[in-house]
């Protein structure tokens, strides 16, 4: 069993980006704008992390914080303003948004060529069309990179994705279906309505858990020798920690790991890759703007 070290792989990717940016040191740096609504602790922490990593690469960032009472119309205006600003190459609206705001309406307002999160309708369509001009959502793109850099082949393999979200499940499925060296897999997408889930997940050569339920995937759901990618980042109470919680994945790691050929830990698996792919998308957005 091999633990896929997402932290080490993501650092390698960040190093590649840093080196790429240094080569073009005469140019202005890329700039990404973050929009955060409210003060949800997880959102604050994610955006901080992204800004910190950006700074470490010489990528500029801006943070625009709005109160939870902001209206959808006001938020759309804010996005439009950033769309129109030529100094800003990438825009990321941190999810989740308050319930009175339709997330897709906001994501679809972001200029598709600044959509470093890959949630805009045009980029979802480009993924369906296998158009590499598009921006891929960071988490599924990170999973593909993790597998590729761990020497896991996908062609002809059975990839089972647990979860059908627009942010992970569906785009991951579409990525592994592509006519592409990192695609060409047979893809199954399961979800809460799937009948006899274990019988499906046990057929997976590569199992991607993205359902947001702590330790949901148990050992009996996994085939001997499978590759398991755990996308879950769930906070569970832990009174022994200063914070009062700790992070666990969607996979019951201790029981599942011994059966796997490869597995990602939580934290230190998919999480850091998501941030690295965001940086990669930001550099791509600047290149688009300059071309």
Determine the Cα–Cα distance for residues 74 and 35; give it in Å rounded to an integer: 12
141 binds its own copies (CB under 8 A): no
Residues numbered 210 to 269 that lie near its own copies (CB under 8 A) are: none
Binder among 55, 68, 128, 181 for its own copies (CB under 8 A): 128
Query: Of the listed pieces 11-19, 152-160, 226-234, 249-257, which binds its own copies according to CB under 8 A?
Result: 152-160
47, 53, 185, 209: which one contacts its own copies (CB under 8 A)?
185
| Residue 223 among the catalytic residues | no
Is 117 assigned a catalytic role? yes
Q: Computed from CA positions of residues 258, 175, 269, 212, in that sequence, does the dihedral angle turn out positive or negative? A: negative
200 touching its own copies, by CB under 8 A: yes
In whole angstroms, how close is the CB of 216 to its own copies at the nearest point?
16
Q: Whole-number minimum distance, CB 126 to its own copies, in Å? A: 6
Kindly indicate which of the ranges 13-21, 154-162, 259-267, 268-276 contains the residues binding its own copies, using the contact rule CB under 8 A.
154-162
Q: Choose, from 5, 94, 109, 252, the residue flagged as catalytic.
A: 94
Residue among 105 and 290 whose Cβ is closer to its own copies: 105
Active site residue 131: no
Please say which residue, 50 or 114, places its beta carbon nearer to its own copies: 114
Count of residues interacting with its own copies (CB under 8 A):
39
Reading the block at residue 281, the tokens are 């998308």
136 binds its own copies (CB under 8 A): no
Among the candidate windows 12-20, 21-29, 44-52, 166-174, which touches its own copies by CB under 8 A?
166-174
Can you spell out the DSSP letters for the chain? -EE--HHHHHHHHHHHHHHHHHHTTTSPPPEEEEEEES--HHHHHHHHHHHHHHHHHT-EEEEEEE-TT--HHHHHHHHHHHHH-TT--EEEEPSPPPTTS-HHHHHHHS-GGG-TT--SHHHHHHHHTT-TTSPPPHHHHHHHHHHHHTT---TT-EEEEE---TTTHHHHHHHHHSSSTT---EEEEE-TT-SSHHHHHTT-SEEEE-S--TT-B-GGGS-TT-EEEE---EEEE-TTSTTSEEEE-SB-HHHHGGG-SEE--SSSSHHHHHHHHHHHHHHHHHHHHH-
x/- contact string, 94-113, with its own copies (CB under 8 A)? Answer: ----------x---x-----
Q: Which residues bind its own copies (CB under 8 A)?
A: 104, 108, 120-131, 155-158, 164, 166, 170-171, 173-174, 177, 179, 184-191, 193-195, 200, 203
So which residues are the catalytic ones? 50, 94, 117
């Amino acid at each position: 069993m091999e633990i896929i070290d997402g932290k080490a792989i993501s650092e390698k990717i960040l190093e590649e980006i840093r080196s790429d940016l240094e080569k073009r040191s005469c140019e202005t740096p890329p700039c990404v704008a973050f929009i955060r609504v409210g003060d949800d602790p997880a959102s604050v922490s994610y955006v901080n992390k992204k800004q910190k990593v950006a700074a470490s690469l010489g990528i500029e960032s801006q943070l625009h914080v709005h109160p939870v009472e902001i209206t959808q119309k006001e938020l759309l205006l804010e996005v439009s303003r950033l769309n129109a600003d030529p100094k800003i190459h990438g825009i990321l609206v941190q999810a989740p948004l308050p319930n009175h705001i339709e997330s897709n309406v906001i994501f679809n307002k972001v200029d598709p060529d600044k959509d470093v999160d890959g949630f805009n309708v045009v980029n979802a369509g480009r993924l369906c069309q296998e158009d590499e001009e598009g921006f891929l959502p960071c988490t599924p793109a990170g999973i593909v990179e993790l597998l590729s850099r761990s020497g896991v082949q996908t062609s002809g393999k059975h990839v089972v994705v647990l979860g059908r979200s627009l942010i992970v499940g569906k785009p991951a499925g579409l990525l592994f279906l592509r006519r592409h060296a990192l695609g060409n897999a047979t893809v199954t997408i399961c979800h809460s309505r799937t009948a006899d889930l274990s019988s499906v997940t046990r057929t997976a050569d590569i199992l991607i858990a993205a359902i947001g339920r702590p330790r949901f995937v148990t050992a009996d759901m996994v085939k001997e020798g499978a590759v398991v990618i755990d996308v879950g980042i769930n906070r569970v109470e832990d009174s022994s920690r200063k914070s009062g919680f700790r992070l666990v994945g969607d996979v019951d790691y201790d029981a599942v790991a011994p059966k796997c050929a490869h597995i990602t830990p939580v934290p230190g698996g998919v999480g850091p890759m998501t941030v690295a792919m965001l940086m990669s998308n930001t550099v791509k957005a600047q290149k688009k703007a300059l071309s």
